[in-house]
Structure 1
Amino acid sequence: MELRHRALQVLCLADPEQKAAAALELFAQAATLSIADTAPVAPTDPDALPGRPERPELLRHTQVARRSPATPEGRAILIHAIAHIEFNAINLALDAVWRFDGLPRDYYLDWMRVAAEEAKHFRLLRDHLRSQGHDYGDFPAHQGLWTMCEKTRHDVLARMALVPRTLEARGLDATPQIQAKLRQVGTPDALAAVAILDVILHDEVGHVAIGNHWYRWLCERTGQDPETLYGTLVQKYEAPRLKPPFNESARRSAGFSDAELRWLQQA
């Protein structure tokens, strides 16, 4: 079976561990698989995409409680929230693989690599939660990342602009701040979480770079200016407003230009 058909199958899996394992296995095989010329047919049941477990309970972003990492429960809630983001990121990468036609083979291989690395991140965080007496699904979560995925399902250019280089790039800004709070707590579990976030931040720079690369490639193919178009897409799809401070060094490593960083500060 072709890579894109397989990616859709993995996207439909509901069990988090099965999905993570399948994403890693599919990436290991990806170089030997053909790329489907046309997108696979999506399930008729809208709730089948993405496959997800019954827990965690999904709430609106404003309904999800925030707790101080100074307490063990607060740290567990924080790590759970990040684990949920990484689980959704597996889905986002798999969706980018199966949904869009007519792109270079490297596009599909890039996003399969992202799916596999997000699966690795999810497993690291879930193992950490379990070491603290909790598990994925124990706390409510929100579905903001997938909402933008649905909004951009008909436009790969908008998808590249607004998921990897907007929503996922927020993690480049937020992670060092989270790490600083955990270091201040200083407990063994907090410092173990800092080390996991080091791995995630390193990989996420690469993921955002992949988004930047394909966004600019698509802009060049369609004859559009990437910096001008970005602001238009942000307004059209009502993307979240990004707030400082920005991790400028990580964003530069991920391919953002000085002009784009200035636009973020002014916006």
Structure 2
Amino acid sequence: MFSSGFIQIAPYTQLLTHFRYFLNLRSGEGRYHSLILFRLSSPRDADMPSDEITKSQNANQLYAMESTCPHLGADMSHADIEEYESNVVAVCPWHRYDFDLRTGQSMFGLKACTYAVEVRADGGGEDTVWVEAPQDGQNWRLVELRPVSEEFSDPPPPPPLDIAQLSLSDPTKEDPVVPLENPPRTLMQWAVLILNTSHPTLKVERTRHAVHLYRTGQLTSIGNRASNAPTPPDIPPREEIYRKSTVDPVKAGKRKNRAGMLHALANIEQWAIDLAWDIMARFGSAYPDLPPAFFSDFTKMALDESKHFSLLTARLGALSPSTPYGSLPVHAGLWESARTTFSSLRARLAIIHLVHEARGLDVNPQTIARFSRAGDAESVSALEVIHADEVTHVTTGHRWFTWVCARDGVDPVSTFREEVRRGWRGDVKGPFNVEDREKAGMTREFYEDLRGEMEWEDSAPGEAAVEKKPDNKLEVAYERLMSVKKSVLHVLQS
């Protein structure tokens, strides 16, 4: 909601769980703008009775500023907050530039954009937080409100996760999280290391560690503009036990029980971790003008996918200890779709994030309903966390797809439909989750009556197209072409 140049964020009482929040805004023209809302120590934190709190006291503890540092674009969501004599500053984690939270002024001569914050009483007398809208657009709306937390899984699922015990892999054979020789020093080096990590638990742990280093300024650089940036693998390796279990996705999708569904979804999430790192490693060097916010968005996505994999394998271990992750057939359908887009960032964003992940938004509510009917509240809770995160992933895809289109001077809707026509086979079928698609920026004009026209061999109706390579039979067998979500659709329709 927007009013008089301000955007309604949330009731003040809903902002008491964390001290900073990421705000993703979108204008009526389709522009994106990201802010950080800082909530400093407030009288309410000292258990003062709520009837003694005034709106001015609440507002005086709230600050909003750009989500990236104006110096080199570092993510400010993990900035240090320091108090000087008469002001409060946010200190960039990369190079220690400080910015006054009220004025945006830095003692180093730079200035960050700050935004006024108001606390207004709504019709029922509840205090609601509003933030000043950016000037470069109209009809701004809040499309994502995300608490910023150092915790890996927020909120943490009970009991604490120990995913090393939830797969068939032997955790004693793991390499250290940080390699003893030539440890990565840039985000791109971490991305390629994680892509080449075959052990699923180690892949998760390295993702957590790399994202923490990036957010807290402990990496020397992103590394995408380096002349010797590492090259991502064509296929992220998997341990031998998973390679032997790889089957056609149609066969993997015919399992009807809850354990089979959780296993299939965990497999999807493990490939999704790789996809988040691959888009950074594969296209970062090819598109040197990509802003740091791109890498912040996709490191957040990599961390989310790691969280999802852990949530699902934890539920699988609790529900069916005799079938840990890796004990049932798996498939690599999602990566096969990614391979068709190796040559184009625009195609990658369209096919993976605006077709595959958007189709996930359509299917997830049905999956959640099935677990709910079975009385599995714990799995429902995990799946609801995953679904909420995946709405933001489609938003990220839409944000950067429209950014690339604006850079190239083309219309996003017609360009998206052309990318799907060239890189997908068959109809993009409903029913569609119209509400969540719209939250993510996917209006009906993007996807209604949408059809791909590619007719390459070894693809199936309704799937991304892939060119067969007859001289590489092992690769074709390992990565049968099929949609990431088709396995779930088979389960629901069976």
Measure, in 2, the Cα distance between the counterparts of 1:3 and 1:239.
35
Deviation at 1:136, TM superposition (A): 1.1
2:212 is the alignment partner of 1:212: no
SS of structure 2 residue aligned to 1:220:
helix
Equivalent residues in 2 for 1:222-233, closer than 5 Å? 222-233=408-419
Deviations 1:178-212 (A, max 9, x none): 111121222xxx22111110000000011110010
- 1:11 is aligned to 195
SS of structure 2 residue aligned to 1:141:
coil
SS of structure 2 residue aligned to 1:58:
coil
Equivalent residues in 2 for 1:1-267, closer than 5 Å? 1-31=185-215, 32=217, 33=219, 34-36=221-223, 37-38=225-226, 40-42=229-231, 46=234, 49-56=235-242, 57-68=245-256, 74-100=257-283, 101=285, 102=288, 103-131=290-318, 132-133=320-321, 134-186=323-375, 190-238=376-424, 241-264=427-450
SS of structure 1 residue aligned to 2:241:
coil
Deviation at 1:215, TM superposition (A): 0.3
Deviation at 1:2, TM superposition (A): 1.1
SS of structure 2 residue aligned to 1:154:
coil
C-alpha contact 2:270 2:309 (8 A) present in aligned 1: yes
Measure, in 2, the Cα distance between the counterparts of 1:5 and 1:151.
24
TM-score calculated relative to the size of structure 2: 0.49
Give the number of aligned pairs.
255
TM-score calculated relative to the size of structure 1: 0.89
C-alpha contact 1:8 1:40 (8 A) present in aligned 2: no
Measure, in 2, the Cα distance between the counterparts of 1:236 and 1:264.
12
Uncovered stretches (5+) of structure 1, i.e. residues with no partner: 69-73
Deviations 1:224-244 (A, max 9, x none): 111111122112222564221
Measure, in 1, the Cα distance between the counterparts of 2:430 and 2:282.
33
Deviations 1:124-164 (A, max 9, x none): 11111111212111111221110121111111111111111
Deviations 1:24-53 (A, max 9, x none): 11111113231210473326x75xx31322
Uncovered stretches (5+) of structure 2, i.e. residues with no partner: 1-184, 452-461, 463-494
C-alpha contact 2:416 2:446 (8 A) present in aligned 1: no
Deviation at 1:54, TM superposition (A): 2.4
Q: Greater helix percent: which structure? A: 1
- 1:71 is aligned to none
Change in Cα spacing, 1:209 to 1:65, as seen in structure 2 (3 Å) is closer
Measure, in 2, the Cα distance between the counterparts of 1:166 and 1:158.
11
| Matching residue's letter, 2:442 | F
| Matching residue's letter, 1:2 | T
SS of structure 2 residue aligned to 1:161:
helix
C-alpha contact 2:434 2:444 (8 A) present in aligned 1: no
> Which protein has greater RCO, CA pairs closer than 8 Å, 6+ apart?
1
Change in Cα spacing, 1:197 to 1:165, as seen in structure 2 (3 Å) is same
C-alpha contact 1:248 1:261 (8 A) present in aligned 2: no
C-alpha contact 2:357 2:394 (8 A) present in aligned 1: yes
| Matching residue's letter, 2:341 | T
Please provide the CA RMSD for this pair. 1.9
Measure, in 2, the Cα distance between the counterparts of 1:54 and 1:241.
35
SS of structure 1 residue aligned to 2:222:
coil
Deviation at 1:258, TM superposition (A): 3.6
- 2:467 is aligned to none
Deviation at 1:107, TM superposition (A): 0.6
Measure, in 2, the Cα distance between the counterparts of 1:82 and 1:145.
12
After superposing the two structures, state which structure 1 stretch, 10-19 or 129-138, moved more. Answer: 129-138
Measure, in 2, the Cα distance between the counterparts of 1:242 and 1:58.
26
Measure, in 2, the Cα distance between the counterparts of 1:65 and 1:112.
29
Deviation at 1:20, TM superposition (A): 0.6
How much identity, in percent, do the aligned residues show? 33
Q: Greater strand percent: which structure? A: 2
Runs of 4 or more consecutive aligned structure 1 residues displaced over 6 Å after TM superposition: none
Measure, in 1, the Cα distance between the counterparts of 2:296 and 2:377.
34
Change in Cα spacing, 1:89 to 1:216, as seen in structure 2 (3 Å) is same
Measure, in 2, the Cα distance between the counterparts of 1:114 and 1:254.
14
